[in-house]
Homo-oligomer: A and B are copies of this chain.
């Protein structure tokens, strides 16, 4: 980069002409010219091997101006590179320069000189050669040039959703997204189920999204509805070959998807989970997810894993963010156990209460899974890990006596009434002390447990009824009285709302 500079150049006509004549006379070819309107300098680039000759030629041609002090000096800077951003679609499109230079600024790349030719189809800039690969990579990424459908001059600011799992929650989310109407920033681009993947880089239309949800709800598979029979891994790879805008993978499965989620992070996806498994599995898996996201500047949100749509993790985050210290979290986070225990506390036999819960569809096929407390313990572990808990997975106290655990399901159900008397005794002993039994998870930064507790009848946990969830936060500021969030903590619509709030939070920032 050769520069002719001098405050005295201003208003002296012909310096540009003399400069380029001299360079041309020396048999040198100029690539890019840089001159800003102050006219106090004019620069151009040429191959490094020609720079000494150019300097020499210019000093000779401009020796009178140099002697008179009109020009301060003719200098050259080596080790620089010119990068050109070229495209026919650039002309007349505002914002291209902003994207180019914002991408460079985000990488801390210093721009030495800029030229956008008046054809508007080319922006060239000079950077140190050591910054050139990073600069090229950043601009490349900003326009997604390596992707199919990339290179669009129009900036897109929406969020593209890839939905992993198209069961009840996935379909409720699809309906909620589709009912937002156009231009609200969220667009479904891919749906995945066990059969395969339905992908549309242009976005699945709202109408089609509703139709797919309805037909899948009636038993069709995504492959049957036009998808490709490929694995989730293959599907992610396919999506990430295309130019998508701020892609988010939403995991509504109930499997250990850790490896797939790690790949998605590496491919540039943010993550929203309703799936507890990857968060409440091994500490090593959890930490890999969190550390990988942090290293790649990606986000993971999972409000819906605890309390469905209730703002529990969000409240935990806001307390911490405002400088409060969370001392203890307690909660009833199993709707099924809540229903059974509040009925039992009101005098209903245990077997009846569980029978009602089964009739109402609150239970897993084998209700021992609900009674095991494992699901509540997983939610406790998720809350605890957000507080920094690094211990082992909590043991959940099971409400199924050891002798009934090995039985076949039918035999277990027959034997249920044999538990009623013990429950009745337990409840009346507690009632005499003003207490009721509740299945409670208790969480601190150093401890998590899940089990049956006797709580005051008039306390927030004790006055809980039916399937409602309740989580209370004791903090430095909420020390004498806790902050309490409660409400229904399950169901496909509410779980989908929790996911949608996470997606919208990602879209904002």
Using CB atoms and an 8 Å cutoff, list the residues of chain A in contact with chain B: 1, 3, 5, 11, 13-14, 16-21, 23-25, 27-43, 45, 77, 82, 84, 86, 92-102, 104-106, 108-120, 122-126, 176, 179-180, 309-311, 314-315, 318-319, 321-324, 458, 460, 463, 465-468, 477-478, 480-488, 493-494, 497, 500-501, 504, 508-509
Contacts and interface: CB of A to CB of B under 8 A. Distances in A.
One complex includes copies of this chain to the number of 2
Contacts of A113: 116-118, 120
A29 B41 contact: no
Given A36-B116, A322-B497, A468-B481, 9 more contacts: A17-B25, A18-B24, A40-B117, A43-B119, A94-B104, A94-B105, A309-B322, A478-B488, A509-B509
Contacts of A486: 460, 483-484, 486
A384 to B, nearest CB: 21
A24 B33 contact: no
Nearest to A467: B481
Contacts of A467: 481
B115 A35 contact: yes
7 smallest A-B Cβ distances: which pairs? A43-B118, A36-B117, A114-B116, A95-B105, A36-B122, A98-B105, A17-B20
Contacts of A38: 84, 86, 117, 122, 124
Nearest to A2: B118
B309 A311 contact: no
A319 B18 CA distance: 69
A120 B35 CA distance: 10
Nearest to A97: B101
B118 A497 contact: no
22 contacts: A3-B118, A14-B24, A17-B24, A21-B21, A43-B118, A94-B109, A94-B110, A97-B97, A97-B105, A98-B98, A114-B123, A176-B322, A309-B483, A310-B483, A314-B318, A322-B500, A322-B504, A323-B500, A463-B463, A478-B488, A483-B488, A484-B487
A280 B497 CA distance: 30
A84 to B, nearest CB: 5
B497 A324 contact: yes
Contacts of A77: 118
Q: Which of A105, A123, A315, A468 has the most CB of B within 10 A?
A: A105
Nearest to A487: B483
A37 B321 contact: no
A105 B154 CA distance: 11
A36 B112 contact: no
A41 B125 CA distance: 16
Contacts of A111: 94, 96-97, 116, 120
Contacts of A43: 117-119
B501 A322 contact: yes
